[in-house]
Structures are given as structure tokens and as C-alpha cells.
Amino acid sequence: MDFTAIRQESREGVLSADVVSGLQEGSAQEIEHLMLGLIPVAAERSMPNLSGYKVGAVGQGESGCFYFGANFEMLGGPLAFTVHAEQSVVMNALKHHETGLKHLAISAAPCGVCRQFLYELADAADLSIVLADKEPLRLLDVLPGAFGPADLGLVGGLMKSELISLAPLEDNENGLVKEAYTAAMHSYAPYTGSAAGIALRLVDDSVHFGYTIENAAFNPALFPLQFALSMMALSSHDPSDIKDVVQVEVDGSAVSYVPFTEELLGRMAPECSFKNLVISRTA
């Protein structure tokens, strides 16, 4: 495979279904082998600021697109704030409005945290785990006795949830506020209702967003800044590039992400501005 061309095609960590089809035809490989071959390209987006250990993963969505993921470690933050490559794949797919994952290729079997995180997917039972030199596994093969959304009475799951209805913004709100507001509407927070979204403007004026992803087991959940920073890393940006930040939280939420966000930004991007808005639900 021509990795140089693939790097150009996947600047945001995504390969379109058409590109994937072309790669498969050109290489005459099964889709699983193609995904395994691209793991090193995904791992190049890793930011292992603490361990120095790069991990990559590649997922295929229902659309046929490939989504890259890479681990992201927060220098100055708790180890628990680390984003794993498998989680990064899911967030990348969500960022691009994917509705489900069919395959997930990784260099080693997923850790317990990732198995629990992946089980939150609405179609988790059908997710194929692709490992080198092994037959593909179903997620449930590596997570016996699983506990997930259905055990708490939830119908559906991650990637199949409805948008959250929020009170409208003022007409004069700026674009960054609108990005954070839209992100908050996409939050997945069925257990605590603590929806939140964030938008980061970088020094090159590009914008990256993130939002809450809860989990039936509470851990492993992800908060908006984790999501946004991980997606920045996939686009080869450093946290020091952050210029302005807006976060939107829902009024009356059981959890506020402001303390974590302020602390991490203070360590990783101390010169950036930060604004938090609280908005009511409408339903």
C-alpha cells in the first residue's frame, strides 16, 4: 500500500468508502487484512506523552468508511483521563456522524476498559474484533457476562441515540458558542442527563469539538474535553495550539465538567480563554 497517499487522504483520520473500495480492489485483500495493514498509519497520530507507547486502531463504519484512532495521554492530567485508541475510533466515527461500527482492527486484544466502552454501542453484539493471525472475534466473545445499556432499561445505545433538545441561543452568539451548543445536543448522557459540549478554536482558526459520552458502568465515560483533544491529535495538532474554548452544559446537570476542563486547560493551554455557558433543556 502507498502509505504516503493514504496519509494525504486521511488528514482527519478518515478514509471515505470510495477510497476504501479502491484500496481493497488495488490490493486484492480482504477488508480485515486491509484494516490491519493500516494500523501503523493510525498509530502515527498517537500522542503518548507519558508512556511513549504508540497504539493505533482502525474501525469500519456501516457507511464503509474507515476511521483511525490513536491513544492520547494528557501531560499533567490524571492517568484516568487517557483516551485509548479504540475509544478514539468511536469518537472519530461519531464526529463524522457514523451510525454504527462493523469491524474494529487492533494490534492486540482490547483491554477491559475498552471492552466495556465498546459494549455501550447500540450494535455491540455484532461488532467484529479483528486481530492479526487470528479469526475475527465478536465483542461478546471477549466480554462474557457483559453489563450494558439494556441492563439499565435503555433501548438503543451509543450511535443510535436521539439529539438532545436545548433552549435556543441568542441570535448574536458567536460561531464558537454555536459549535459547542451543537456538540452538547449530540451528547450521549442517558444515565445522569449531564449533557455537555465543547468547542476549541486553534491558532490556525480551525475548530474541534467534543461532547459527553456516558457508560452504563459510569467508568469508562468520556467528558467533552477528552473527546476534543483526542480529535485534535488525530489532526496532528498539539494542545498548546488552543486559543479559545467554549463549553455548554445543561442546567441542573448532576455532573459539571468545568473543574476538570479548567484544570486541564490551565496545564495544557494556559494562555487560552475559557467560557462556560449553562442552557436549559426544552424536553
Residues 6+ away with beta carbon under 8 Å from 107: 39, 43, 55, 56, 57, 131, 132
3-state DSSP call for residue 3? helix
Q: Decide if 138 contacts 146 (C-beta within 8 A).
A: no
The secondary structure of 136-178 as a DSSP string is: -EEGGGSSTT---GGGGT-SS-BTSPPPPPBPPPPTT--HHHH
List helix spans (H) across 10-136.
Answer: 17-27, 31-43, 85-95, 112-118
Interior CA angle at 43 toward 16 and 67, to 5°?
Answer: 25
Q: Is 173 a catalytic residue?
A: no
Marked catalytic residue, from 9, 32, 86, 98: 86
Beta bridge partners of 185: none
The residues assigned a catalytic role are 86
